[in-house]
Amino acid sequence: MAREFGWTIDEMRELRPSELIAILKELERQRFLQEYSEMRNKWAFIASVITNAIATIAGMFSKKKPKSVEPDDFLGEELKKRFKKLTGEQQEGKQWDELIEEAKEKGLKGPW
């Protein structure tokens, strides 16, 4: 933490345990998001480009159109779920669920 924030040891000792825990959780979150971004934007992208290039070359000799591969196809489902959880993307779906329930309680009906 001293390296990350430039704090001295005395400043870190002054932190309360709850502050320390919150800081460590945020650092872990930021580190995961940075690693995920690097994996997706560099390595998974390169893998998808290579795969698509090989599939296109192979498709030149066959009648079938090759299936395109996305960088997300090279990342595990558990990793994607953790990323969505940390970025709050799953909360957007929950927000819609709450609004739908509220509309049903009020007796509102949609176009269907």
For residue range 59-82, list pLDDT tens digits in order. 888 888 888 888 888 888 888 888
∠ at Cα 26 (20, 29), nearest 5°?
140
Q: State how far the alpha carbon of 76 is from the alpha carbons of 28, 43, 80, 92, in Å.
A: 19, 13, 6, 22
| pLDDT tens per residue across span 12-53 | 888 888 888 888 888 888 889 899 888 888 889 899 999 999
Domain segments of the chain: what residues?
79-107
